[in-house]
Amino acid sequence: MEKKIRTIAALNSHNVSVNLDEVILRNGKRGERIKIIHPEAAAVIPFLSEDEILMVRQYRYALERQTLEIPAGKVDPGETAEECAARELMEETGYKAEKLDLVCTYAPAIGYSSELIHVYSAKILQQAGQGFDQREISSVEKMRLSEVWEMVKKGEIVDGKTLLSLSMLKIVGEP
């Protein structure tokens, strides 16, 4: 247990805040903790068929590079994680899922963030026709799973939620 003494400083941007807190550590001494208060999020592995998925290419400001990843985003107020997964899939790829199954829920950065990501797999996709959100996404790509795993083995996919989602689905199996 670590108990907060005070918030030293804070930043806020839309629905995310970052606090720098002074805390009492396990040994009774004082220390500092950065805490990002982040909404829950959802990620989705969109299957076009048993061996083909959709991925999105996106510039990531914090990494200063483009990444290839599965669609994901923050859960809006009043929305369930499953609704968020369906909405993000539609916004980022233009595809609609007929069935979403929860794969797992995890905390991506427990050292400094409260974020929890709910991972879904999506089946029987249909193109809904309105394209994708060009404000964030550079391109939507159809990828064979064998091709994705080759990229993973070469270290060409670095996004944690994509690696975790694909490998957990493979191991834990589908519902």
Residues forming the site for a copy of itself (CB under 8 A) = 1-2, 9-14, 16, 18, 20-21, 23, 25-27, 29, 32-36, 59-64, 67, 69, 104-117, 134-136, 138, 149, 152-153, 155, 158-161, 163-164, 167-168, 170-172
Nearer to a copy of itself, 2 or 142 (CB): 2
CB of 39 to a copy of itself, least distance (A): 11
82: CB partners within 8 A, 6+ apart? 42, 100, 102, 118, 120
Nearer to a copy of itself, 96 or 163 (CB): 163
115: CB partners within 8 A, 6+ apart? 36, 38, 39, 40, 41, 107, 108, 109
Nearer to a copy of itself, 68 or 97 (CB): 68
Are 41 and 117 in contact, with CB atoms under 8 Å apart?
yes
Helix (H, G, I), strand (E, B) or coil at 92: helix
Which amino acid type is present at position 132? Answer: F
CB of 123 to a copy of itself, least distance (A): 21
